[in-house]
Amino acid sequence: MDMTVSISDLDKRMLSKGIAGWRSANADIDIAIKSENWWAIESAQQDRSLHANTIALIFHKYTDAAPEQGGHS
């Protein structure tokens, strides 16, 4: 099933940056794990989390959710 959502230009830019940042953080995590750099792992995980939250907030803004699903009424 496909989903089409019309979003503003600003949100498109934020979504694009969020996805790119999330992918970059995943790559950073892989590198940090290979080097056993625990500080870098933690930092990259936090970065990935921030990008994932940005992506989720943008999608939540444009999707309809019933109040029982945690959406706004």
Residue boundaries of the structural domains of the chain: 9-61
| Ramachandran quadrant class, 70 (left: phi over 0; alpha: psi -120 to 50; beta: rest) | left
Confidence category of residue 7, pLDDT binned at 50, 70, 90: confident
pLDDT at residue 2 is higher than 90: no
pLDDT score at 67:
58
pLDDT at residue 70 is higher than 90: no
Which residues contact residue 22 at a Cβ distance below 8 angstroms, ignoring those fewer than 6 apart? 48, 51, 52, 55
- Six token digits for residue 10: 């600003």
Which tens digits make up the pLDDT trace of 42-53? 999 999 999 999
